[in-house]
Every structure is written in structure tokens, then in C-alpha cells.
């Protein structure tokens, strides 16, 4: 059992990246419109986040310094401030969207409008971050989020046309009726969400919260190489089951209840219950991840005391940032903005932060002053540099694609 809990950090981090509210819907929408022609994007995303999360876990375990410390040390206060601004905006907007996502999951279960749930969810989230132990939070929400595995089971119970699915996966491109612009918009969105900056901030800060040291390098690697592929698998299962159910009917998906449909069709009430539980845990887990990340990044940029391993009175500034972020998140949602669209907008701000996050990690992972003989090998550097180029390309393409395709609508 201890072994299972040891990978909870990796699983929770991956859930925030791959199956948070925006991704749950984006994956299902991509599945319904394009089949599984975006399967390769998830694979590329999983490899990229694995490579960089492994580097940041290693840097943190060996040097004891979380990632945002290094960003300011290596890029200087000005560029790091630009990164802080960009990633904080992404993180807080995503936090708002996740609160809405938890509300939507509760709306599925109770038929009470999600907007009524949002303030309640915000309060419960704050209490959890104020009082609960870090390890309790990651164990409960990391493992409950795994209920989404029901999409994998559902897929095998559905009468799928394996031939045409294979055809879509092996010949990436838009089907008739869709254009390349929209196809690439979805590709960039799915890729960027796999590599959102708050994942590495949360993972490395979580490693400090769990007091990882050099002897935990193996734990760090297991977390990375089990957690993120598992997150990618859940995302893929959602895409796959949507492709099986909706694509043959040419139906589009844009609400959370439609995403749940394939599991309900294949497994009945029990399947639906598992999906709702999974949605709840995944979105609440992502809300925790983003709420804490907001506090982590600001505190680490300015050198403040931070973390759940201290009493709130000993990390007053950190807890104030977390509290304010949750309030801002709730306030954004209360404008009745669509939480699912909100996460798609965060992509634009991700564009600024992504390269500025991953470049310093790659630089420090090669610095013997920090890592001694545990610096990057040739494989890690090859993957690291390749992904830096992909990230730059995705960052440059994101905004034009968004405008051309009107957020993938065109």
C-alpha cells in the first residue's frame, strides 16, 4: 500500500495536466469530431512532460531547490517576472475553471446549477488547503481520480470499429468536413495542456513538501514514469470512447454530461456514478494543484516561506496568495463565463510561460554545481532540446490558430 501512495504525487500532478476540466471536454470534443486522429499528440505530450518532470524531480531531489527558484536564478528577475506573470495568469484562470468543473460534476449528480456550487467548492478547497496534510490531499484525490479508468473499461464494452480507429490513428489529419486549421488548433491545445507550467511547479514543490532527497531519486522517477503515462491514458480513453460513440453519428460534444455518455451507455448507472466521482476528484485535484501552484510560484520567486509543511502562521504570505487566488477564481466564475471555454483561453497565456519554464530546467539539469554527476545524459538532452523546439513552435502557432479557427469553432 505504501508503494501505491508513494506515486500519488505523480498521479495527482498528471491529472491536473491531462484530465482537468478543459482537457476532459477537449479530448472528448476532439474524439467526436476527429476520431482518434490526435492520438499521436497525447503520446508526444506524455513523452515531453515525462522528460521535463524527470529533470525537475531530479534537480529538486538533489539540490533541494524547487523549479521556480531556478528560473529566477538562471533567467534573472526580469524574465522570471514575465514567466511569473504568464504562468500565474494561466494558473489562476485554470483554478477558476476547475472550480466550475467541480460545480459541473456536482450538477451532474444533484441537478443543482453549478454556479450555486462554485462558492461552496471554493470554500471547501480553501479549508482543504488550509488544514489538510499534503500527503492526505494527494492520496485522496490522486487515487479517487483514477475512477476515470472507467472510460477504459467502457471502451472495451462498446462495439468499436477497430479498423477505422486504427485508420484514424495511423493517418493523422482532419476527416472530411473539418479543415487543417481546426485540426492543428486542437493539436496545439492538447499538447500545451499536457505540458502546462504549473505541473512542473507543483511536482517539484510537492517533492520539497515530501522532503525528497538524493535517495528518493528512484521514487521521483517512478512517480514520473507511472503518473504521467497514466494521466495520458485516461485522456486517451476519453478521446477513444467519444470517438467510438459520437463520431459515427457526427455528433459534437460540448458539455460535461455528454462526455460521460459513453460510460453510461456501456456500463449503466454504475458506470455513470464512477464517471461523476472521477470528474469530481480530477477537477478538485486540479483545483488544488493550481491553487497551491499559485502560492508556490509567487513565494519561490520572492524567497518567502511557503508550503503545507509549515503552520499557516509561519507562511502567512504564502497562505494569503492561495486565499486570494481562490477568491479570484470564484469571482471569475461568478461572471457566468463558461468554465470550459476559460481553460481554452489560458492557452494564449501558456504560450509566454512554456518556453521560459522549460529552458531554465534544461540548463540547470546540465549544471554540475547543482547536480554533481547526476546531470542530464545524452538521451535526456536530446529529448529536452527537441521539445524546447516543439514548445516554441506550439507557442508561436497558438495565437494565430486561435484567431483563424475562432477557438476551434471554424
Partner 1 sequence: MLIGFDLLDRQILDRDGEPVGKVDDLELTYDDTGTPHVTALLLGQEVLGHRIGGTLGRWMAGTARRLSGSADRPPMRIPIDLIAAVDSAVNLSVHRDLLPDPPLETWLRDHLITRIPGASHES
Binding residues (CB under 8 A) for partner 1: these are: 63-65, 69, 72-73, 76-78, 80-81, 130-134, 302-306, 308, 311-313, 316-317, 319-320, 369-370
Q: Which is nearer to partner 1, 252 or 305 (CB)?
A: 305
CB of 57 to partner 1, least distance (A): 15
CB of 135 to partner 1, least distance (A): 10
Q: Which is nearer to partner 1, 133 or 406 (CB)?
A: 133
Q: Which is nearer to partner 1, 161 or 367 (CB)?
A: 367
> Which pairs from 304-309 meet CB under 8 Å and 24+ separation?
306/205, 307/134, 307/205, 307/208, 307/209, 308/129, 308/133, 308/134, 308/209, 309/134, 309/209, 309/211
CB of 140 to partner 1, least distance (A): 14
CB of 343 to partner 1, least distance (A): 27
What count of Cα atoms within 13 Å lies in the side-chain half-sphere of residue 278? 25
| 147 φ/ψ angles, rounded to the nearest 5 degrees | -60, -20
Q: Which is nearer to partner 1, 225 or 304 (CB)?
A: 304
Helix (H, G, I), strand (E, B) or coil at 49: helix
CB of 223 to partner 1, least distance (A): 21
The answer to whether the beta carbons of residues 200 and 90 sit under 8 Å apart is no
Q: Which is nearer to partner 1, 313 or 378 (CB)?
A: 313
The answer to whether the beta carbons of residues 315 and 304 sit under 8 Å apart is yes
CB of 311 to partner 1, least distance (A): 6
Q: Which is nearer to partner 1, 134 or 387 (CB)?
A: 134
Grid coordinates representing 203 are 511536482
Helix (H) or strand (E) holding 200: helix 197-209
Strand segments, DSSP code E, in 48-155 are: none
Distance CA(294)–CA(90), nearest Å, equals: 9
The answer to whether the beta carbons of residues 402 and 66 sit under 8 Å apart is no
Amino acid at each position: 500500500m505504501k508503494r501505491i501512495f508513494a506515486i500519488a504525487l505523480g498521479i495527482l500532478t498528471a491529472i491536473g495536466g491531462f484530465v482537468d476540466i478543459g482537457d476532459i471536454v477537449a479530448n472528448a470534443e476532439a474524439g467526436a469530431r476527429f476520431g482518434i486522429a490526435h492520438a499521436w499528440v497525447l503520446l508526444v505530450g506524455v513523452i515531453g512532460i515525462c522528460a521535463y518532470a524527470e529533470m525537475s524531480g531530479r534537480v529538486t531531489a538533489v539540490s533541494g531547490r524547487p523549479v521556480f527558484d531556478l528560473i529566477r536564478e538562471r533567467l534573472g528577475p526580469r524574465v522570471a517576472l514575465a514567466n511569473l506573470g504568464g504562468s500565474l495568469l494561466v494558473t489562476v484562470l485554470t483554478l477558476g475553471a476547475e472550480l466550475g468543473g467541480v460545480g459541473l460534476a456536482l450538477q451532474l449528480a444533484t441537478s443543482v446549477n453549478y454556479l450555486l456550487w462554485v462558492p461552496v467548492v471554493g470554500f471547501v478547497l480553501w479549508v482543504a488547503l488550509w488544514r489538510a496534510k499534503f500527503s492526505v490531499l494527494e492520496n485522496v484525490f490522486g487515487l479517487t481520480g483514477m475512477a476515470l479508468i472507467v472510460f477504459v473499461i467502457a471502451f472495451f464494452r462498446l462495439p468499436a470499429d477497430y479498423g477505422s480507429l486504427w485508420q484514424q490513428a495511423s493517418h493523422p489529419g482532419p476527416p472530411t468536413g473539418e479543415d487543417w486549421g481546426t485540426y492543428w488548433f486542437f493539436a496545439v491545445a492538447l499538447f500545451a495542456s499536457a505540458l502546462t507550467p504549473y505541473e512542473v511547479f507543483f511536482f517539484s514543490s510537492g517533492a520539497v513538501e515530501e522532503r525528497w532527497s538524493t535517495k528518493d531519486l528512484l521514487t521521483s522517477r517512478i512517480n514520473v514514469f507511472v503518473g504521467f503515462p497514466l494521466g495520458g491514458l485516461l485522456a486517451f480513453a476519453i478521446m477513444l470512447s467519444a470517438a467510438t460513440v459520437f463520431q459515427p453519428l457526427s455528433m459534437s460534444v460540448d458539455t460535461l454530461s455528454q462526455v460521460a455518455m459513453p460510460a453510461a451507455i456501456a456500463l449503466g448507472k454504475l458506470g455513470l456514478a464512477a464517471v461523476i466521482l472521477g470528474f469530481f476528484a480530477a477537477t478538485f485535484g486540479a483545483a488544488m494543484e493550481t491553487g497551491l501552484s499559485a502560492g508556490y510560484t509567487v513565494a519561490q520567486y520572492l524567497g518567502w516561506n511557503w508550503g503545507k509543511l509549515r503552520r499557516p502562521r509561519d507562511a502567512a504570505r504564502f497562505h494569503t496568495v492561495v486565499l486570494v487566488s481562490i477568491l479570484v477564481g470564484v469571482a471569475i466564475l461568478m461572471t457566468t463565463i463558461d468554465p470550459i471555454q476559460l481553460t481554452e483561453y489560458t492557452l494564449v497565456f501558456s504560450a509566454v510561460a512554456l518556453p521560459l519554464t522549460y529552458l531554465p530546467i534544461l540548463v540547470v539539469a546540465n549544471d554540475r554545481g547543482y547536480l554533481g554527476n547526476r546531470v542530464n545524459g545524452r538521451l535526456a538532452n536530446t529529448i529536452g532540446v527537441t521539445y524546447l523546439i516543439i514548445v516554441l513552435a506550439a507557442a508561436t502557432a497558438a495565437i494565430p490558430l486561435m484567431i483563424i479557427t475562432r477557438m476551434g469553432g471554424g
